[in-house]
Amino acid sequence: MAIKLLGPAQTVRMRTEADVTARVERRAAADGQQVRLDRRTLVAYVSEGRWVADCPGCRAGIAIHPEWTTAACLGVGCYRLYTSIAVPTDWVEIETALDVRDKVNQNALPGETAAALEVENEIHRGEIEIARGERIR
């Protein structure tokens, strides 16, 4: 399924999970380091229209694809490969709820549901309509 928000393909030009592994391996090798497999679970959320997670190793942002099970930290000196990502079960609905907003306001914190985002949209309906120059349903 194609994602509506920005994922690794748009933010860091990784189109497949194999690209993720290859990129972190190249970066680590260029710095004379090894890739570290990290089994901790990343928690995906949306920040300004991008699916991301925070690296527990160095706190850098990691591009996430909600359908992938692999992600990598490309932070200098970190080079961790993660194979467990917690993505909201209602991620498709979250994207739909956020799609009516400007990029800067396309945010969903960990644990925030599509239903909660729809309530926010209704509360801020006038602001959203003005920003988009149109009416939302």
Calpha distance 99→105 (Å, rounded): 10
Give me the pLDDT at residue 97, please: 95
* pLDDT digits (tens), the chain, 137 positions: 566 777 777 777 778 899 999 999 999 999 999 999 999 999 999 999 999 999 999 999 999 999 999 999 998 899 999 999 999 999 999 999 999 898 889 999 999 999 999 999 998 887 767 666 765 55
Cα of first residue to Cα of last residue in the chain, in angstroms, is 24
